[in-house]
Structures are given as structure tokens and as C-alpha cells.
Amino acid sequence: MDVIFHLSFPVDNLADTKRFYVEGLGCEVGREGKGSLILNLGGHQLVAHVVTAPMPLQQGIYPHHFGLTFTTEADWERCLLRAQTQALRFYQQPKHRFKGERIEHRTFFLIDPFNNLLEFKYYRYFSAVFGEVQYSKVGEAS
């Protein structure tokens, strides 16, 4: 199946959305309306929708976050370097999870200006993305 993922998420203004997602992360801009903006994040469609109610910051990384899973460590490192160079705000600094296990991965979390959390990760073993079902660990305690 040849598909792309679509995610709609809340923002409170499009100028800050462009600063973070386009200038900061390097997303490409698609269509733009008065209250929405389509973005290309790694070949996937994000749609930012302006809302009037402030979005509270959730306590911890669960239950809501979105992001990218890189297939090469070099691409993950380039994304990390860009986030650092662009002075994007980190919610969690880069770290290794489950080191030495088949589900080992590198990860970091960013927080956008609207309190949306984004995770960027790279699995040492690609099979951990959808496999390695013998492990019950998913993420970590928040």
C-alpha cells in the first residue's frame, strides 16, 4: 500500500506555525487558508488548524504526541542538529531508550509554540518499529 499519513492539530496562529514548522523544522508549505495551513513533514500531511482556546501543556509525553521515525541514524542526527541550530525548544533532550535490547532507539521531543509535543526517533533495529512483539515495553513512564 502506497499511502501517506495525515494529522490535523491545533495552533493559535499561522505566523508562529510557519516559524516553528517551516523555518525551524524545514517543512514545506502546501495550501493555506484563513484558519489553516497544510505542511509536508517528511512526506506526510500535517494540517494546522487555528483554534481560539489555549491548549494546555500535558503532564509528560503521554497521551498525545506525534513525529517522525527515521530509518537511518544519520537522518535522525541531521534532524537533531537542525533543531539545535534553529534553537527549537526541547521538551526532552536526546537520549537512548532500552539500550542493548532489540527495541533500542534514540529519541528526543520538541514542543511547538502551541504545546504540541513532537517526537523524533531512530530504532537501532528496524524490526522494532512494528515487530519485536516479544517485548511488552512501549515507551516509558511519563
Domain ranges of the chain: 6-52+65-129
Q: Which of 80, 69, 83, 58 is nearest to 121 (CA)?
A: 69
Pairing mode, strands 36-41 and 117-123: unpaired
pLDDT of res. 142: 43
Total Cβ atoms within 10 A of residue 2? 3
Q: Report d(CA 62, CA 142) in Å as an integer.
A: 7
Q: Within a 13 Å sphere around the CA of 41, how many CA atoms are in the beta-carbon half?
A: 28
Q: What is the mean pLDDT of residues 74-80?
A: 98
pLDDT bin (cut points 50, 70, 90) of residue 116 is very high
Least reliable range by pLDDT among 52-61, 81-90, 113-122: 52-61
CA-based Rg of the chain, rounded to a whole angstrom?
16
* Average pLDDT for 55-60: 89
- DSSP assignment letter at 122: E
Residue with cell 526532552: 92
Give yes or no for residue 75 having a pLDDT over 50. Answer: yes
Query: Are 92 and 109 within 8 A, CB to CB?
Result: yes
- Cα–Cα distance list, 12 to 16, 105, 116, 119 (Å): 8, 33, 11, 21
Return the CATH fold of 6-52+65-129: 2,3-Dihydroxybiphenyl 1,2-Dioxygenase; domain 1 (3.10.180)
pLDDT attached to residue 119: 97
What's the pLDDT at 141? 53
